[in-house]
Amino acid sequence: MHTEMWEHPATVANVATLRSRGVRVVEPAVGRLTGADTGKGRLPDPAEIFAVVRRALARGPHAPADLAGRHVVVTAGGTREPLDPVRFLGNRSSGKQGYAFARSAVARGARVTLIAANVALADPAGVDLVRVSTTEELREATVQAAAEADAVVMAAAPADFRPATYAPAKIKKSDARPPTIELVTNPDIAAELGRHRRPEQVLVVFAAETGDAEANGRAKLAHKRADLIVINEVGPDKVFGAETNAATVIGADGSMRTLPEQSKEDLADGVWDLVVARWASRPEG
């Protein structure tokens, strides 16, 4: 369809009605349409539609679309902070866990905004995809999308620091000592969301740790004023880029759940179960 057809008030109302009845809606993809038009209206990639269907079936034939009528925001990938035109400060995040959260949310009936930082993966079917690069771009997109979201899952790995200055030309290697790169601290997006979120909104943050994982995770949970923190022990051959993941999830209510090593989509469903439970415990939600 054309973008205008998808955004027509009658279509919007009909889709909202379907979602309110528990129907899972896979939204159209963005791209080239008929003629010279470009926008939202394409059939999503069949492989990605299949991935959503497979995810829905994996939960069982009677599993409810318990995210129907909900708008969730998921961040994924790793930000890059430019040093010069060819170099950047970044991290190892592949975006696979964030994309798993997005796919499982679509399969459970949610309207999903996926904010992806430097991810080289196929676009998940049924999401509103926003591409960003730097931590400041991630912050701007996430704060805007989160304003009316029911839940925010901060699965992206934003760089904690960025170069204080950007060299407009490539920094050349010479016989002199290498240049000293001064760093400045990036904004803490999750903490900002925690300070300003609505009482009924569920905030899920992540902690990638290489030691003292539980203690550091509990400190981050309190600092960011989140509902849940997903703690991963990471390393060069652990979590980043892998197809599986294991985590400890700690709640602001003192609860703790261990999710053993499993597919990243299964782990995402385990966390969504906890998000749904938080809504159920809040009458105003």
Q: Is 32 helix (H, G, I), strand (E, B) or coil?
A: strand
Secondary structure element (H or E) that encloses residue 229, with its range: strand 228-233
**Total Cβ atoms within 10 A of residue 70:** 22
What lies within 8 Å, CB to CB, of 215 at 6+ separation is none
pTM of the predicted structure, to 2 decimals: 0.86
* Whole-number Å distance between alpha carbons of 39 and 236: 39
Phi, psi of 81 (to 5 degrees): -110, 110
Secondary structure element (H or E) that encloses residue 209, with its range: strand 202-209
1 lies in some domain: no
108-122, 235-249, 252-266: least confident range: 235-249
**Are β-strands 151-154 and 202-209 bridged in parallel, bridged antiparallel, or unpaired?**
parallel
Token pair in block for residue 258:
């261990």
Phi, psi of 221 (to 5 degrees): -60, -45
Confidence of residue 42 (pLDDT cuts 50, 70, 90): confident
19 lies in some domain: no
Residue 178 pLDDT > 80? yes
**Total Cβ atoms within 10 A of residue 42:** 16
253 lies in some domain: yes
Q: Among candidates 227, 228, 226, 261, which has minimal Cα distance to 247? A: 261
* Largest distance between two CA atoms of the chain: 69
CATH of the domain at 117: 3.40.50.10300
Q: Give me the pLDDT at residue 284, please.
A: 52
Angle (nearest 5°) at CA 225 between 158 and 103: 55
For the chain, what percent of residues have pLDDT higher than 70?
96
57 lies in some domain: yes
Confidence of residue 283 (pLDDT cuts 50, 70, 90): low
Q: Is 91 helix (H, G, I), strand (E, B) or coil?
A: coil
Residue 79 pLDDT > 80? yes
Amino acid at 91: N
Contact 125, 107 (CB under 8 A): no
Residue 133 pLDDT > 90? yes
- Average pLDDT of the residues of the chain: 90
Alpha-carbon distances, residue 69 vs 14, 45, 180, 201, 245 (angstroms): 13, 24, 51, 14, 28
In angstroms, the first-to-last Cα distance of the chain is 34
Q: Give me the pLDDT at residue 37, please.
A: 81
221 lies in some domain: yes
36 lies in some domain: no
Contact 125, 52 (CB under 8 A): yes
As a whole number, mean pLDDT of residues 72-94 equals 95
216-258: per-residue pLDDT in tens?
999 999 999 999 999 987 755 655 778 899 999 999 999 999 9
Confidence of residue 272 (pLDDT cuts 50, 70, 90): very high
Confidence of residue 47 (pLDDT cuts 50, 70, 90): confident
276 lies in some domain: yes
Q: Give me the pLDDT at residue 285, please.
A: 43
Range of the domain at 138: 50-280
Q: Give me the pLDDT at residue 73, please.
A: 98
As a whole number, mean pLDDT of residues 200-210 equals 91
User: What is the number of domains present in the chain?
Assistant: 1
Token pair in block for residue 12:
């919007």
138 lies in some domain: yes
Q: Give me the pLDDT at residue 82, please.
A: 96
Residues belonging to the active site: 91
